[in-house]
Amino acid sequence: MLHGNPSWSYYYRRLVSGLCSGYRCIVPDHIGMGFSDKPGDDRYSYRLERRVEDLERLMQFLIDERGLPATGHTLIVHDWGGMIGLAYACRHPQRIARLVILNTAAFPNPKQMALPWTLKLGRDSTLGAWLITRCNAFAAGAATWGVKRRLDPATRAAMLSPYDSPAHRISTLRFVQDIPLTPNDPGYALVEQTGKALAQFSALPAQIHWGRHDFVFDNAFLAEWQRQLPKAELTVYEDAGHYVLEDAHERIIPSVREFLDRTTLERAV
C-alpha cells in the first residue's frame, strides 16, 4: 500500500485492519513522510526517480531478508503512490498480480489540464513554499478540502502529526515542487514512460475506487484509468473526495477484501 502527499501510512489504517487477518500488509512511509526520516536536501534528492528506487530497495530487502515471495503482490495505491508504485511495477511486472487504484495517476496529465491554483502556488512560488513549510498549509488544506465528510479532531490531528515543524514539512513541499507537467521537468520522462507501459497490466485483476469530488484527480484522470485498465472493476463514490478511504471506507474495505479473496493467487500478499 503506497500513500501520497501530504498523507502517510496512517491513511491505510482501516484497510490494514480489514485485510491483515488474511494478507500480509506492507505499508511504508515515503522518506520525509509519516514515521520515516526527514532529511534535508543535502542528504536526499526528493525526486520521483529516487522514490521509485527507495521502493525497489525496500521490496528487494523484504524478498531477500524477510521471506516475502517474489511474485503474487497486490499493489494498492493513492495519489503519488500511484506514480511511484506503477513506475516500480513497470520495472518488475512479474511481481505484480493485482491492482487496487484509489484517486491517483501513473501517466501524464490528461489533456494538459491546468494545475489547480493551490498546487500551482505551492509548486511555483516563494509564497507557496513559505505557506507549506511555515504554516503547514498543504497538509492542513488537504485534510479540509480532500474530504467530503469532515474529519473528526483526533483523525485530523493524526493526519497532520508528522508535519509538526518546518523542518518536518520538507517532503510535503518537495512533492508539490516535483509535480511533472512538461518534458522539461525532472520526473516527466519517467511519468511518460510509465504511462506508455501500463498496457501490460490491462489483463490483471484490478479494482478502481474513485472519489468523484477530487480537487486534483478529476474525471479526466478516471477516464484515462478506464482506458488503461478496461477490465478493472470500477466504483465511483459520489459522496467522496480525494481522500476516498476516509469518506467511503465502510464500502471500500469489504469490497477490496472480497476482491482479494475472490482472486486469490498462490502465495499472494
| pLDDT at residue 29 is higher than 60 | yes
| Mean pLDDT for the chain overall | 97
| pLDDT at residue 269 is higher than 60 | no
pLDDT at 114: 80
Could you tell me the pTM of the whole model? 0.96
pLDDT at 3: 99
Domain residue ranges in the chain = 9-262
pLDDT at 265: 63
Helix axes 137-145 and 117-124, enclosed angle (nearest 10)? 170
In percent, how much of the chain has pLDDT > 90? 94
**121-132 pLDDT per residue, tens:** 999 999 999 999
pLDDT at 233: 99
| pLDDT at residue 22 is higher than 90 | yes
In percent, how much of the chain has pLDDT > 70? 98
pLDDT at 72: 97
pLDDT at 267: 38
- 62-70 long-range contacts, CB within 8 A, separation 24+: 62/26, 68/24, 68/26, 68/269, 69/267, 69/269, 70/94, 70/95
| pLDDT at residue 268 is higher than 70 | no
**198-243 pLDDT per residue, tens:** 999 999 999 999 999 999 999 999 999 999 999 999 999 999 999 9
The arrangement of secondary structure in 9-262, i.e. its CATH architecture, is 3-Layer(aba) Sandwich (3.40)
Q: Which three cell numbers stand for residue 160?
A: 497532520
For residue 25, CA distances in Å to 65, 139, 207, 222, 244 come to 17, 25, 17, 26, 19
